[in-house]
């Protein structure tokens, strides 16, 4: 079973104030409440957090997200929409398909793509150590 964000904060020595605990809890619950396509930006996160504790400022949310990113707990994505989006770093790898009209983000793993990336790196004399794949598209209209 993977660690919760709060457990990761504790194991990495990230100080958890009461306000940070609320932010961490909201982040931890985001996949359950909003599904795998949930990659909130700071404004979305602030809106969710302020429903629980209206005293938490957007500056506190920004600072907390930055601390969690620097600690290797959150990963920041720039999906060409102008706003950075965040998700918890997971042990399992996945790629993203982004709908440029709706902003929906689909997480996927495709073994053929994984094999092809290794093959391409090998072709050019490299050993693949990491990668990030983001596909951008629009939903096909039904005929």
CATH number at residue 115: 3.30.1490.190
Residues 102 and 78 placed together within one structural domain of the fold: no
DSSP 91-126: SS--EEEEETTT--EEEE--HHHHHHHHHHHHHTT-
Full residue range of the structural domain in which residue 132 is found: 95-137
Number of domains the chain is built from: 2
Position 46 in a domain: yes
Residue 45 pLDDT greater than 60, yes or no? yes
Residues 124 and 71 placed together within one structural domain of the fold: no
Position 80 in a domain: yes
Residues 29 and 80 placed together within one structural domain of the fold: yes
pLDDT, tens digit, 9 for 90 and up, residues 49-101: 999 999 999 999 999 999 999 998 888 888 776 678 788 777 777 888 888 88
DSSP state of 37: T
pTM: 0.71
d(CA 128, CA 27): 31
Q: What is the mean pLDDT of the chain?
A: 86
CA-wise closest residue to 74 among 20, 128, 135: 20
Residues 15 and 66 placed together within one structural domain of the fold: yes
Residues 75 and 110 placed together within one structural domain of the fold: no
> What residue ranges in the chain does DSSP mark as E strands?
74-78, 84-88, 95-99, 105-108, 134-137
């Amino acid at each position: 079973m993977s660690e919760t964000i709060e457990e990761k904060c504790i194991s990495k020595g990230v100080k958890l104030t009461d306000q940070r605990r609320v932010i961490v809890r909201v982040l931890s619950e985001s996949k359950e409440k909003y599904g795998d396509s949930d990659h909130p930006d700071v404004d979305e996160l602030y809106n969710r957090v302020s429903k629980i504790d209206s005293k938490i400022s957007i500056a506190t949310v920004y600072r907390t997200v930055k601390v969690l990113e620097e600690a290797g707990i959150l990963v920041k994505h720039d999906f060409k929409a102008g706003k950075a989006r965040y998700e918890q770093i997971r042990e399992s790898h996945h790629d993203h398909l982004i709908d440029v009209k709706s902003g929906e983000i689909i997480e996927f793993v495709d073994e053929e793509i994984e094999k092809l990336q290794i093959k391409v790196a090998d072709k050019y004399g490299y050993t693949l150590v990491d990668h990030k794949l983001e596909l951008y598209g629009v939903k096909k209209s039904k005929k």
